[in-house]
Chains A and B, each alone.
Chain A
């Protein structure tokens, strides 16, 4: 997210580094201590997980558990995991589609035409944050009875619920980007130049909302890949429920997959930062005046 914020600030021309240290800023030592402690909180569990997966069967350390994961002999044993992963990937795509084709256009529409609805929309989108997944499921189960009867019980139907759970994260990411650009003027300029609404969305707004849309999508993917409660209580198989099942037979492979999922999420977030800053840099680097 750091990269995203920096990109947003750059564009708004607000990225100023304080020339002198003000009273409120911590000293370098304090900064170091804070970073160290926070870093340890993150690193110790991850290091422990790695250590755990490397434990050999007869004591000592080796890579046998990692090798077992790709061993064709274990294909049957790990099949639920691959099915779960497949289900989660389908869910990720469907959820991202909901974010990109439903949430984003709605937010743009509210910004352009119904600015008075901005606060209610924000409230609505942030609401899922305050409702625990287990409570959400209580309300969702009767709905899923109907969904099951009308469109089937395929794992992809969970995307409707996930579309709700990712709302707070996706909303914040897109709104930050919407605030950083002058949506109204860009739209009116494009309209005056002959662009229809489709062109306005695709050729003018989408490229300028790229960072926000990308962050929203990747955060949604991260949330969906980590979701357990709703899938479990609604009896659908996703990556996390599969890991839970496999964990009972083989705790090592569950931890290995958890590590891989973590690495995947980390790479996703890194990508958000990279894409945002690279684009902003390319457009704002001053050029020498041609004479």
Chain B
């Protein structure tokens, strides 16, 4: 799992995408015009066990109304379970789940007013895309003519207004997930739940739909919980990310915070690539590769480990820095990523210009290219 080298941990949507998609949905889409009142969500000490095996250890999490929060973690970390507990598809052994300040722990799924998109294709095979989109409105006894109008608007929002008469088997995977998104949004739910909706799609469609989900979420200001194991996905779309491991939240924060100052080794390893360099801290600063740099979060003096992202390391000139030998160098198009070993035996990952060609056995000097460093 490597970071896309071009992807900055950014909130919001790239401007080019916004320009392109805005032209598609400008004007008065009824769904956008009526807006969706996102509700806050909170987990308080939620415990979930499967056959004596505890998968959620007293989960605490607060999500503000209109916020986009990703639950990120490896498989088996409890992220999907947390989402399913919120949806009411699993009942927790302990704790309280609230939506909009109301305890919904005993409310059945169909009364929670949620929209959900699943990992597996979940469109009803016997209904067309339009009928699928109208389903939730039918359940809410909305008049057929109004339901049709709203469903058409929802399909328009995901760019599939021309595909309303298709059956799911006649749609591509990406189109099916778009219809599933329209179906989840058309009822104007208080919370949108996304359970790895992109993982079955191929890379290009995945990025497109990911950005589209974020664009729609921002337009509707709907509270969204997004479960994913793909850190790049989480970094690209979230307001905040909760990194989960073994049934607990390791760290929660903005994508920038997580990337720049991971609280634990697990977070540092899981979110982006990083190299770990032993160093000594003194007076709020730490000396790495011959340079003294301030620490991002204050630690007591003594032995520490410095976390360096590949873009935080560069080739030093005029004899400064640390001597290192190239182990391998990979060309990635716009740049090159190189793995080196210092004379002290520490392995370092470095990202640099594609013009700087390095090959196995080359000896270079490296230094830190950052104003401050993350330590643990």
Please report A residues at the B interface, Cβ cutoff 8 Å: 11, 181-182, 185-186, 188-196, 199, 204, 207-208, 210, 279, 282-287, 290
**B120 to A, closest residue via Cβ:** A185
Instruction: Please tell me if the beta carbons of B120 and A182 are within 8 angstroms of each other in the complex.
Output: yes
* A284 and B169 contact, CB distance less than 8 A: yes
- Are A193 and B183 touching (Cβ within 8 A)? yes
Is the pair B135, A190 in contact by a Cβ cutoff of 8 Å?
yes
Identify whether the interface residues of B are mostly helix, strand, loop, or mixed: mixed
Interface size class of B (residues with CB under 8 A): 35 or more
Q: Is the CB of A191 within 8 A of B136?
A: no
Contact between chains at B170 and A286 (CB < 8 Å): yes
In the complex, how many angstroms separate the beta carbon of A180 from the nearest chain B beta carbon?
10
- The listed residue (B109, B110, B124) touching A186 by CB distance below 8 A is B124
Q: Are A196 and B124 in contact (CB under 8 A)?
A: no
- Which residue of chain B is the closest to A180 with respect to CB atoms? B125
What are the 3 A-B residue pairs with the smallest beta carbon separation, nearest first?
A193-B136, A194-B139, A192-B116
Contact A188 B89 (CB under 8 A): yes
In the bound complex, what is the Cα–Cα distance between A194 and B137 (angstroms)? 9
Indicate if B289 sits at the interface (CB-CB under 8 A): no
> Which secondary structure dominates chain A's binding surface?
helix
- Nearest-neighbour CB distance to chain A for B152, whole angstroms, equals 14
Complex formed: what's the CA distance from A286 to B163 in Å? Answer: 12
**What are the residues of chain A within 8 A of B66 when measuring CB–CB?**
none
Contact residues in A for B187 (Cβ distance below 8 Å): 193-194
CB-CB contacts below 8 Å: B89-130 with A: 89, 108-111, 113-116, 118, 120-126
Set A11, A189, A285, A287: member contacting B124, Cβ < 8 A? A189
- Cα-based distance from A208 to B87 in the complex (angstroms): 24
Of all chain B residues, the one with the shortest Cβ separation from A188 is B89
Contact status A284-B170, CB under 8 Å: yes
In whole angstroms, how far apart are the Cα atoms of A193 and B189 in the complex? 9
- Report yes or no: A192 in contact with B115, Cβ–Cβ below 8 A: yes
Select the residue from A182, A193, A207 with max chain B CB neighbours within 10 A.
A193
Contact A195–B125 (Cβ < 8 Å): no
Selected A-B contacts with CB under 8 Å, 26 pairs: A185-B122, A191-B88, A191-B109, A191-B110, A192-B114, A192-B115, A193-B135, A193-B136, A193-B187, A194-B110, A194-B111, A194-B139, A194-B140, A194-B187, A195-B135, A204-B124, A208-B126, A279-B126, A282-B167, A283-B167, A283-B168, A283-B169, A283-B170, A284-B169, A284-B170, A286-B170
User: Within 8 Å CB of A181, what residues of B?
Assistant: 125
* Residue from the list A188, A193, A283, A290 in contact with B162, Cβ < 8 A: A290
Residues of the A chain whose Cβ atoms lie less than 8 Å from the Cβ of B109: 188, 191-192
Closest to A210 in B: B126
Task: Say yes or no: is B166 at the interface (Cβ < 8 Å to chain A).
Answer: yes
B151 CB, min distance to chain A CBs, angstroms: 12
Whole-angstrom CA separation of A191 from B140 in the bound complex = 12
Assess the B139–A193 pair: CB atoms within 8 A. yes
Find out whether the CB atom of A195 lies under 8 angstroms from the CB atom of B126. Answer: no
Beyond A188-B89, A195-B110, is A290–B163 a contact (Cβ under 8 Å)? yes
For A192, what are the chain B residues with a Cβ–Cβ distance below 8 Å? Answer: 87, 89, 109-110, 114-116, 184, 193
Q: How far is the CA of A279 from the CA of B183 in the complex (A)?
A: 23
**Knowing that A189-B124, A191-B88, A287-B166 are A-B contacts, what are 9 other residue pairs whose CB atoms are under 8 Å apart, sorted by A's residue number?**
A182-B120, A185-B120, A188-B89, A191-B89, A191-B109, A193-B135, A194-B110, A282-B167, A290-B162
CA distance A284 to B167 in the complex (A): 7
**Residues of chain A within 8 A of B113, CB atoms compared:** 194
Residues of B within 8 A of A290 (CB): 162-163
- The residue in chain B whose Cβ has the minimal distance to the Cβ of A181 is B125
Residues of chain A within 8 A (CB-CB) of B87 are: 188, 192
Instruction: Quote the shortest CB–CB distance from B108 to chain A (angstroms).
Output: 8
Chain B residue with minimal CB distance to A283? B167
Indicate which residue in B118, B123, B170, B183 contacts A287 across the interface (CB closer than 8 Å): B170
A227 to chain B, nearest CB (A): 34
Q: Which residues of B contact A208 (CB under 8 A)?
A: 124-126
Shortest Cβ distance from residue B179 to the other chain A in the assembled complex, whole angstroms: 11
Asked if A186 and B122 sit within 8 Å, CB to CB, the answer is yes
Q: In the bound complex, what is the Cα–Cα distance between A81 and B135 (angstroms)?
A: 49
CB distance from B354 to the nearest CB of A (A): 38
Whether A188 and B118, one on each chain, are in contact in the complex, defined by CB atoms closer than 8 angstroms, is yes
For residue B161, which residue of chain A has the nearest CB? A290
Q: Which of B110, B114, B121 has the most CB of A within 10 A?
A: B110
Nearest CB on A from B265, distance (A): 36
Q: Given that A189-B116, A191-B109, A196-B110 are known contacts, is A285 also in contact with B122, CB under 8 Å in the complex?
A: no
Inter-chain contacts of B123 with A (CB < 8 A): 189
Instruction: Considering the complex, give the chain A residue whose CB is closest to the CB of B136.
Output: A193
Query: How far does the alpha carbon of A287 sit from the alpha carbon of B180 in the complex, in Å?
Result: 19
A281 → chain B, closest Cβ, in Å? Answer: 10
Residue of chain B at shortest CB distance from A204: B124
